[in-house]
Every structure is written in C-alpha cells, then in structure tokens.
Amino acid sequence: MSNQLSELLELAIPLPLTASFRQQANSYAAQFFTANTRHRMYFNSLAVLVADVYLRLLGFETDLTKPERWNAVHRLWSEGNEIELLGLGNLECCLISLEQQSVVLPVEIESDRPLIGYLFVEIDRSEKVATLMGFLPTIHPESVDSEMQITTLKSMDDLIDYLTEQETSILNRTDEIRDLNFEFSEGITINYLKNWLNNIYEMGWQPAKRNLTNVTAKKELQLGGQTFELELVISQRNQELLFVEVIIRCQNAYLPIGMQVSVPDESDIYTQTVEFQADLISIPLEFRSGEEFWIELRLNQSAIREYFIA
Amino acid sequence: MDELELNRQLQLLIQEACSSGDNAQRRKAMHNLLRLLLTQGILQRTSQGAYAEFHEEALSKIMFKLSNTLCDKYDLNRASPLSWIKTCYRNQLKDEIRAANRQRKKLSLINIENHPELHPVQSDITITDETLELRQWIIKDPDGVLSNCCIRDNPKANCHLLARLHIVQQREWREIAEEIGVSSNTLRSHWSRKCKFLIQNWFREDNDLLGKN
C-alpha cells in the first residue's frame, strides 16, 4: 500500500448506517425507473445521508431535510448526489471501493449552486458502516469529467481545513457586501434601470429589444482579452418590484470554463461558475424599486463590475 | 490500545475540541475523538440478539450528543472519558429498545394486517401517478414542445429524445452523447437551460390545472 493511501486510511472515519437511512435511501431509489439506477441511487443516497451526519457533527450547516430534495420528480431525476452546505455550495458524494486504483469524477451534476468539492465514501457490504475516505476540491475546472488516481485524494483533515477556510472567506465576502453602500458613495458609475424604462441609455448600454412588458439592453465588456456581452432584460412587475434577467454571452461560441458571474443575494453573494461548455449564463433577479446591486464577471485574476440602481 | 492510553488520548482530544480558538482545530479534534471511539471497538454491538439492530441508531444519536454537549456536560472529576461515554451509549441503547417496544405494543393492539400504514417499516414509496403522467407526457410529447426544441442545426439533439433517454431510460449523459454524436457538455448545457425548463413548466401547469398546488 502506498504512503499516500495509508495516510488517507489513517484519517478515514467509519460511521454507522442506521436502519432509517437504509429505509430513506430505498424510498428515494424506488422513484427511479430502471433497476440499475435504483441500485445506484440506493447506495449513493446512503453515502449522502452518512456524509450529512458527519458534516453536521462537525458543526457545518447542511440542508438535506427539504422534502423536494428527496422527490425525484421535482429534481427531474437528476443524479446529483450533493449535500448543500449552507452558504458554501454543494459537496458531491461519490462511492468508492478500496480495490479501486482511480476515480472518475461525476459529470451528471445539475445544480444552481456552485460545486465546491467531491467527498469519497466507501459502503461496507453489511450496509451498516460507511467510511468517509477523502475528498477533492473543485479548484481545477479541467478536472471535471476526468479520471484521478486514488492516491491523489486529499485526507479528511484536509477537508476540514478546506471547508473551514471557505466559511471564513464567505464571511469576508459578506463584509464586502456591507461595503456596498460605501462603494456606491465613492463616485463609481451607476446605471439607473428606471432610465432604461424611459428610453435613456448611457455608458455603453444599447437598447436591444422593447415590447409592452420588457426592456432589453446590452453592453460589451472586455475581460481577460475576451469580449463578453452583458444583457439585462427588465420587466416591471408593479410599482415596487422589478424583475431583471442577467444574461452573459461570449463573442466566441462558448463561455470560458472557470469563468464566474456573481451578484449580491440578500446577505450573501451568489456566484455561478462555468463548469462545462455553455454558450450563456442566465441569472434571474428581483429587486425593490431603488435597490442597489452589481454584476461581477471574473475570469482567472481579472474581474469587472457594473453597478445598478433598480 | 489499553484503557489507560485511550483515556489519556480522549482527554487530550476533549480538551482540544472544547478550548481551541481555531475552528478547524476544534473540528479536527472532534473528528479524531469520534474516529477513536468508532475504530477502537469502544462502543461495540453489545449483543447479537434482537437488540443488535439498535446499535447503529444508538451510536448515531450518541455521536450527536457528544458533539453537542461534550463541552458543557462532561466533568473529568466525576468520571473518566471512557466510562462516561460508555454509560451514555448504554443509556441510549436502552432508550432505543424501550421506544421500539412501546411502538410494537401500540401496533399489537391494532390488527396490523388491516393497517399496513402503521407498520414500523414503511412500505417503499414507489412511482406515483404524477410521475407516470409526466413520463407519459414525455414519451408522447403531444404538442411537439420537446421535439421542437433542439440544439442549433442539429434536430436530432432535441429535448424529446434527450428526455426519453435521460429520464425514461435513465441513460448516462456519456452514453447519450455517443449515440447522438454531440459532446456530453453541450448536451447537458442544452438540457439544463432549455429542456428542464420545458418539462418543469408543463409539470407546473398540469398541477395548476388539476388544482394540485
């Protein structure tokens, strides 16, 4: 056994699988149509449930109790075996066996939340014990859809460090949002969406479409040597509420993998990352009249922000 | 590892889990403490008989009790960590057994045969009517909503075929991509942005129409 693997095993933790977990996994798997999928979903769900226990034991907040999480129709039978860590993103649970030399990272994930890592779980034949073996962070977008040697997995200690660091950086980013008012008062350029409704466009914004209910405006932005098109579709629901759909496209056919688009989301920041080939990102938002917000495009080390008042 | 050494290690870990100012250190101490309990045979299944089935449930609950109350409730001057944890586990196991007996008694008063819903092990949730309705709609696509929505210049890669392969036959994207001859990323992107929306829309409208929402 290699050194890396024995180090991994030294920190791996075996946890009990209760009868209620087996029952819940069974109920969820039974909603799938084919025997193979049912079998896979049963074991995947056991992994998800036991990983959830572990994360909660260490004081992380998760959200597996939402009933829709266990409703296959609601999820349109997506096979994402994710745990949402509140405020941090999703941790994808993957089954593993010790005989395996390598792991293939799943590509079947469909979620609105950012994927922050993969957790590898081994389920004992008895189905009464599951061992959390190690993890991989999603810092390299190119690693998606690729095969990794089992010896490259990080230990459970590394997982604790990684998630705790993520928590701290989220707290710092929340402070950034608190500074938003400050930023708005520092003489930055602000786009007033109400002007667009009155046909006034400034600062590089161009009207694109207009009908009885919507106004669409576009602007070209340069970032990391590429040209992006930021499009906002605005519709006024009533005097108080404005619905804004943010759409980002690239002049090349596809958005670059790893590119991020962020918007403030109440007391947090919502970020969507391009994880696979896609030709656009679309984020629906709702604002009260007069509310301040921004849209940030980030590619590698460069970022660009546009500021708005609804 | 002998009992003396186990107690020494547990004491160190409790101290670290309860007093470290660093979140990651505290969590690592809790991880090591739980790992020690679970790998050193401290909280083993006490019997092979009818009560053995409660072991995992008791173990799971005791871990949460430890993680939530260890720093407030444990007093080193009153008991060694090992005997305190073992007592907690035994008590939890007794609670589990009592609760199960109460449930059995309650059920034996009613004829379970006539009330399957009262059986402690729920029957599996199987495929529901609404699931079948949705599946039928996908298979038939009566208005052509799904088949009309395809990847640019590739009518074969349409939502109808994707939904049949992905939802009804539950094939993996890799396989579907090979069959259609489009990259799996492009397929999933089209699926997430267009097809899912169409299906969810129909499902919502259908539920609204039937007053299910």
Per residue in A83-136, pLDDT tens? 999 888 899 999 999 888 888 887 655 666 778 899 999 999 999 999 999 999
List CB contacts (< 8 A) between A59 and chain B. Answer: 23, 27, 67
Please answer yes or no on whether A156 and B200 come within 8 Å at the CB atom: no
| Rg of chain A, C-alpha, whole Å | 22
Which of A51-65, A100-114, B114-128 holds the top average pLDDT? A51-65
Residues of A in contact with B37 (CB under 8 A): none
Q: How far is B111 from chain A (nearest CA, A)?
A: 23
pLDDT, residue B72, reads 87
CA distance A306 to chain B (A): 25
- How many contacts, defined by CB atoms under 8 Å, are there between A and B? 121
Q: B interface mutation test: which of A33, A34, A41, A123 has the most B CBs within 10 A?
A: A33
A221 min Cα distance to partner chain B (Å): 23
- Give the model's pLDDT for residue A3: 75
Q: Cα(B127)–Cα(A26) distance, rounded to whole angstroms?
A: 12
pLDDT tens across B149-166, in order? 998 778 889 999 999 999
Q: Which residue has the higher pLDDT, A112 or B190?
A: B190
Q: Do A279 and B189 touch (CB under 8 A)?
A: yes
Q: With contact defined as beta carbons under 8 Å apart, do B33 and B10 qualify?
A: yes
Examine the pLDDT at B125 and tell me if it is beyond 60.
no
Note whether A57 contacts B64, CB cutoff 8 Å.
yes
pLDDT at residue B171 greater than cutoff 60: yes
Provide the β-strand partners of residue A85.
A62, A89
Residue A212 has pLDDT above 80, yes or no: no
Dihedral in degrees, nearest 10, Cα atoms A274, A275, A277, A281: -30
Q: Which of residues 147-166 of B touch A (CB under 8 A)?
A: 166
Q: Is A10 on the interface with B (CB under 8 A)?
A: no
pTM for the whole structure? 0.69
Sorting pLDDT into bands at 50, 70 and 90, what band is B121?
very low
Contacts of B63 in chain A (CB under 8 A): 15, 53, 57
Structure tokens at A203: 């600062």
B168 contacts A33? CB cut-off 8 A? yes
- Return residues 94-123 of B near A (CB < 8 Å): 121-122
Task: Output the pLDDT for position A267.
Answer: 64
SS (H, E, C) A159-227: HHHHHHHHHHHHHHHHHHHHCHHHHHHCCCCEEEHHHHHCCCCCCCCEEEEECCCEEEEEEEEEECCEE
Q: Which of A59-63, A73-77, A175-179 shows the lowest mean pLDDT across its residues? A: A175-179
Q: Locate the chain A residue with the closest alpha carbon to B40.
A: A14
Task: Give the Cα separation of B12 and B19 in Å (integer).
Answer: 11
Q: Which CATH number fits domain B3-100: 1.10.1740.10, 3.40.50.261, 1.10.8.640, 1.20.140.10?
A: 1.10.1740.10
> Is it the case that residue B212 has pLDDT exceeding 60?
no
Q: What is the residue extent of each domain of chain B? A: 3-100, 115-205
The more confidently predicted of residues A243 and A28 is A28
**pLDDT over 50 at A181, yes or no:** no
Task: Pick B38's closest partner by Cβ from A14, A33, A157.
Answer: A14
pLDDT of residue B100: 84
Long-range contacts of A306-309 (CB under 8 A, 24+ apart): A306/A191, A306/A219, A306/A221, A306/A230, A307/A183, A307/A184, A307/A188, A307/A189, A307/A190, A307/A191, A308/A190, A308/A191, A308/A192, A308/A193, A309/A190, A309/A191, A309/A192, A309/A193, A309/A194
Angle at which helices A156-178 and B23-39 cross, to 10°? 150
Whether residue A5 is predicted with pLDDT greater than 50 in this model: the reply is yes
Top-confidence residue, B186 or A109: B186
* CB distance A93 to A131 below 8 Å: no
Q: Sorting pLDDT into bands at 50, 70 and 90, what band is B120? A: very low
Prediction ipTM score = 0.80
